[in-house]
Structure 1
C-alpha cells in the first residue's frame, strides 16, 4: 500500500518534528532572577543608587578612588546597585528582593532610562517610570528620593535625524521623571553639565563616561548627599 506507507512516514516526520520542538524548548535557558541586591558582605546600606551602567561604573570608580562611600559622615554607606543594560521595564523585577529583605534606606537615587529611548515609545516609558517610582516610594514613604536626569550620548547608534528625535524624547522623559518624583514628600533632582559637546567626559564608545566624567558625576552625587543627610 503505497499511500499507507507515505502516511506512516508523514506521521513519523510529524512526531520527530514535535519532539524536536520540545527539545528546543527544553534547551532554552531559563530567565535568571537579577537583583540590585549584589552586596556580598550582606550589609544593609542606607543609600541606594539604583540604575543602569552609569551607577555601575560610578561605583567601580568610587571603589578605585578608595571612597566607595564618598567620604560621607560616619554611619552612611552607599549601595551602588547598577545593572548594565537595564531599562525601566525590568526595574521592579530587579528591586523586589532588597525591598522585601533590606532595611529601608534613607536616600534612593534613580538613574536609568537611556537604554529605553531607542527601544520603546514615550507612552510605554512614562508608564514604566511612573509604576517603578510609585512602587519604591510606597514601600519607603519616609525615604528621600532623587531623580537623576538621563544623560546625552555622543553615539546613540542611529542616524542624525533619529538622533534629534531621541534627544527630544530624552528631554521629555526627564521632565516626566522630575514631575513624578516631585509628588513624593522628600524629593530632589540632579542635572549634570555633561553633554555631547564635552567629549572628554565620554569613553571612546560615546556612551559611557570616562574617568574624568565619572569623577564629575561622583562629586555631584556627593554634594547632593551632603545637602540631604
Structure 2
C-alpha cells in the first residue's frame, strides 16, 4: 500500500480514542512508598491490610473480623466503627477464638487437597522450592502472628516450637503468615477457599420431655437441623421423658457412645427436680455436674437452657414453683455466664395457648418459640 493510500481509523480533527486504562484496585497507590501485593501485583501502602481484606478468608485474622457479617475489616479501628454502626456495640468476636484453630487447620487441609500434597512435609518443601514464594524472604512475624501461631501449634502440633521467621517454611505456623497463606490460596485456584468454612459443628441437645417434644415438632416441620446447612452443622437430640438431673451423667455416656464428639452441648433439664429438692441443693448439683461436663469436654461450648415457666407445678403451689425456678435460673446464669445461658422470653405462664392441657408441656406454638431460641443462640455463637 502506498503512503498516500493510508486511511486512518479516525477522522481528521477528532480526538484519537485512547485505550482504556486498567481499572484501579481499591486501596492501591501509585506512590513510591507502595509495595506490590503478591497476589494481584498492585501496589499498596498497607499490603498486609489489603491481603487480609481481599485475599484471605474473613476469619484468617480474628482480631479484625466480624463473625456475624463474615467480613474482615483489616484493622481493629475499622472493626470498632463497624461494630458501632451495624451492631450498636453489642457484638463481640470472642467466641471465634474457640474455633479459629479448627477453621485454619481445615483450610490448610483443603489447600493441600487442592495442590495434591500428601502431607505437610511435602507442602513445606514445595513452598521452599517454588519461585512464587521468593517474595516471602525477609518476612517477619508480628506479635499477633506469634500469639496465634503458638496457639495453633499447641493444639495441632504440640511437639513443635514457633520458628523465628515464616520463610523458609519450617512448620505449619509459617503457613498461617498472611503472605504465604495468600499465595497458597491463589495457587489453589479455588475461590471457595475465601468464602467457606470447612469445619462441621456437632451439637447435642439433651434433656427431659421438653426436648423430646421439641425434637418431634422439629421433625414434623422438617427442621430437625434447625434450618442449618448440614454441611456446616449437625444436631443430635436426646430427650428422655420424665428425666431428672441425677440421670444426666448416664445420658452423657449414652450420647458419647452414639454421637460424634460435640462442639456444643445444650442441656434443658431440672424442671422435674423442683418438686423434690430445694433450689439451693439442686443448684449445687447443677453446678457440680456442669463443671464435670466442661472438664469432660474441654473444647465444647456448654449451654444451659433455662427452666421454663409452667401453669401448674405438681405438689407445689404455683408461686412456690416459680420462685424455685427463678432462683435456679438466676444462679445458673451467674455461674455459666450470660453467653452460655439460653433464655425463652416469649414463653410466659399466663399465655395459655403456649401450653397443653396439662399446663406443663408446650403446644406447637410454644415448641416453635423454643426451637427458634435454640437456633438464634447457635447463630450468635457460630461464626
Aligned length: 181
Report Cα offsets for 1:147-191 as digits up to 9, x if no partner: 1110111111346xx3212211111111122123239xxx42121
Return the match for 1:148 from 305, 308, 313: 305
**Normalising by the residue count of structure 2, what TM-score does the alignment of the two structures yield?**
0.45
1:49–1:133 distance in 2 versus 1, CA, 3 Å: same
* 1:84 is aligned to 2:237: no
TM-score by length of 1: 0.73
Unaligned 5+ runs, structure 2: 1-199
Distance of 1:174 and 1:119 partners within structure 2 = 17
Give 1:23-62 correspondences, 5 Å limit: 46-62=202-218
Q: What is the root-mean-square deviation in Å for CA atoms of aligned residues?
A: 2.0
Separation (CA, whole Å) in 1 of partners of 2:325 and 2:353: 21
2:261 to 90, 97, 104: 104
Contact 2:243 2:272 in 1 (8 A): yes
Matches within 5 A, 1:51-200: 51-73=207-229, 74-99=231-256, 102-158=259-315, 162-182=317-337, 187-192=339-344, 193-200=346-353
1:53-97 per-position Cα deviation (integer Å, ceiling 9, x unaligned):
111111111011111101113231111111111111221122123
CA contact (8 A) 1:133 1:180 kept: no
Q: Which 5+ residue runs of structure 1 have no aligned equivalent?
A: 1-43
Task: Work out whether residues 244 and 269 of structure 2, in 8 Å CA contact, stay in contact via their aligned partners in 1.
Answer: yes
**Structure-2 separation of matches of 1:178 and 1:99:** 26
Alignment of 1:200-215 (within 5 A): 200-215=353-368
CA distance in 2, matches of 1:117, 1:191: 18
Q: CA deviation at 1:99?
A: 3.5
Where 2:340 maps in the other structure, the secondary structure is strand
SS in 1 for 2:302: strand
Does 1 or 2 have the higher relative contact order (CA < 8 Å, sep 6+)?
A: 1
The higher radius of gyration belongs to 2
- Which secondary structure does the structure 1 equivalent of 2:233 belong to? coil
Residue 228 of structure 1 corresponds to 381
Cα gap change, 1:93 to 1:48, in 2 (>3 Å): same
CA contact under 8 A between 1:53 and 1:86: conserved in structure 2?
yes
1:46 alignment partner, SS class: strand
User: Which runs of at least 4 in structure 1 moved beyond 6 Å after TM superposition?
Assistant: none
Check 1:66–1:56 CA distance in 2 against 1; reply closer, same or farther (3 A cut): same
- Tell me how far 1:45 sits from its aligned partner: 7.7
